[in-house]
Amino acid sequence: MSFQKSKFHHPRLPVNDLGLNYRDYEGALSTLCAGCGHDSITSAIVQACFELSLPPHQVAKMSGIGCSSKAPNYFLNKAHGFNTVHGRMPSVTTGANLANRELTYLAMSGDGDSASIGLGQFAHVVRRQLNMLYMVANNGVYGLTKGQLAATADRGMKNKVGEQSLFTDIDLCVMALQLGATFVARSFSGDKKQLVPLIKAAISHQGFAFIDIISPCVTFNNHPDSTRSYDYVHQHITTAAVTDFVPVKQEITSDCAAGICEDICLHDGSLMRIHKLQPDYETKNAMKAIVDIETHKKKGEILTGLFYLDANGEHYHEINNTTDTPLNKLTQDDLCPGSRVLSGINDSFR
């Protein structure tokens, strides 16, 4: 059994603007089950952060409890991180983000962590428009506790021991759309061509970005009755639109043909180029996105891609008009400017 991955790498690995190669963004060797979809998400995050040239020490990895919430240990081992309690990642992230708005918040949660015990926390962090990337590894079960059905499991689906999901499933993308998230997407752990640009765009996006990532649990939810197995997902996935992420510095070469292609400029000047696969696809209509998701679900299809994007929406700090200086950088003098300033303020009320 290997506990370490060799540090030898391909001699041709490209390096990014910081002179790092993608392997510099890795973490410990995963201890999840062999074949777990979460590991593919990990590798997509590593690739996205590498391609964005994120300085690892400017990233905070946040998670709750679950196999999915263990995943941050397996990427960006030079970043900050907080593995919180079950379902409470959003509050801890809110606190961290308040204290230091300059870090990039990458949050990884599970469908149990977010749609069951943490549903309230999830709803409120969306409402709050916290500037973060919130990813859910959606496997339809509680993997870590041996495969109980999660609230995201499609109604009627059976788990490995034959127990049926009797209740309506929760669609976290639909909830996020209802509650005002400004970036909402769904993807599949096995489709890195789609997932990596989405993660890059979501990180560049200023505001609350949510990606629900179908991520098969190979041990407890990969059986023939499952709607989250590799085979089922491979067969039922449909893509609304293919997204490319074009960073600020890169020149945009080809034209964007009207009708089938759309360029969306993100806050930092980078661009999302959307190639529509469904003719009536729109990125600015949350209501329609909800209808699209539900309509495909009725047909037994899993719709993936970017559902909604409002590149100009406000985020938590903007809504609250907080100071541009991160709170953790405010000094005693900034916070307590002394009696002379106080008397000035008092004078202004006289």
Partner 1 sequence: MKTTDTSSYQHFLKVVDCQHACPAHTPVPEYIRLIAEKRYTAAYMINWESNVFPGVLGRVCDRPCEPACRRSRVEEKPVAICRLKRVAADNKEDIHPYLPKVPTEKNGKRIALIGAGPASLTVARDLLPLGYDIVLFERDPKAGGMMRSQIPAFRLPETVLDEELNYILNMGVESHFGEDISSLSNLLKSGFDAVFVGTGAPNGRWLTIPGHDQVNCDGSTSVDTGINWLSNVTFGHNDSAPKRVVVLGGGNTAMDCCRTAKRLGATEVTVLVRSSFAAMKASPWEKEDAQAEGISIKANYTPIEYVLEAGKFVGVNFEQVTSVYDESGKRTLSNTGATLFVACDLVLVAVGQDTAFPWIERDIGLRFNKWQQPALNKATLQSSLEQVFFGGDAAYGPKNIITAVANGHQAAISIDIFCQGKNAETDRPESAFNLISQKMGIHDWSYDSNIDHQARNLVPHISWEEAVKTLNTEVELGFDEKLALEEAQRCLNCDVHTVFNESTCIECSACEDVCPTDCISFVDAGNEENSEAVNDQHILSQLKVTELNPEQELFVSAPLKTGHLMIKDEDVCLHCGLCAERCPTGAWDMKKLLLDNIAATIK
- The residues of the shown chain that bind ligand SF4, judged by CB under 6 A, are 32-33, 35-36, 38, 67, 139, 143-144, 217-220
Distance (Å, rounded) from C-alpha 245 to C-alpha 93? 26
Q: Is 234 in the site for partner 1 (CB under 8 A)?
A: yes
Task: Measure the N-to-C terminal CA separation of the chain; round to a whole number of Å.
Answer: 76
Interaction partner, residue 42 (Mg ion, ligand SF4, partner 1, none; CB < 5-8 Å by kind) = partner 1
Q: Which of helix, strand or coil describes residue 229? A: coil
Contact residue for ligand TPP among 66, 197, 305, 313 (CB under 6 A): 66
Angle at 185 between CA 316 and CA 296, to 5 degrees: 135
Q: Is 224 in the site for partner 1 (CB under 8 A)?
A: no
Distance (Å, rounded) from C-alpha 140 to C-alpha 146? 12
Contact residue for ligand TPP among 23, 53, 55, 86 (CB under 6 A): 86
Q: Where are the beta strands (DSSP E) in 111-203?
A: 132-138, 141-142, 148-149, 183-188
Check: CB of residue 302 under 8 Å from CB of residue 237: yes
Distance (Å, rounded) from C-alpha 27 to C-alpha 333? 39
Q: Is 63 in the site for partner 1 (CB under 8 A)?
A: no
Interaction partner, residue 2 (Mg ion, ligand TPP, partner 1, none; CB < 5-8 Å by kind) = partner 1
Contact residue for ligand TPP among 15, 78, 99, 145 (CB under 6 A): 145
Task: Name the β-bridge partners of 108.
Answer: 63, 135
CB of 79 to ligand SF4, least distance (A): 21
21 vs 100, which CB is nearer to ligand SF4? Answer: 21
Residue 45 has a CB neighbour count (10 Å cut-off) of 27
Contact residue for ligand TPP among 60, 67, 135, 266 (CB under 6 A): 67
Q: Is 112 in the site for ligand TPP (CB under 6 A)?
A: yes
Which residue, chain included where needed, has tokens 């300085």?
55
Contact residue for ligand TPP among 44, 60, 126, 150 (CB under 6 A): 150
Q: Is 37 in the site for ligand TPP (CB under 6 A)?
A: no
26 vs 111, which CB is nearer to Mg ion? Answer: 111
Number of helices and strands (H, E) in the chain? 12, 13
Angle at 140 between CA 135 and CA 143, to 5 degrees: 85
Q: Is 144 in the site for ligand TPP (CB under 6 A)?
A: yes
Q: How far is CA 246 from the centre of its chain?
A: 19
Interaction partner, residue 218 (partner 1, Mg ion, ligand TPP, none; CB < 5-8 Å by kind) = partner 1
Amino acid, res. 65: I
Amino acid, res. 263: D
Binding part of the chain for ligand TPP, among 61-69, 248-256, 284-292, 302-310 by CB under 6 A, reads 61-69
Interface residue list for partner 1 (CB under 8 A) = 1-2, 4-13, 23, 29-30, 33-37, 39-40, 42-43, 189-190, 192, 216, 218-219, 222, 230-231, 234
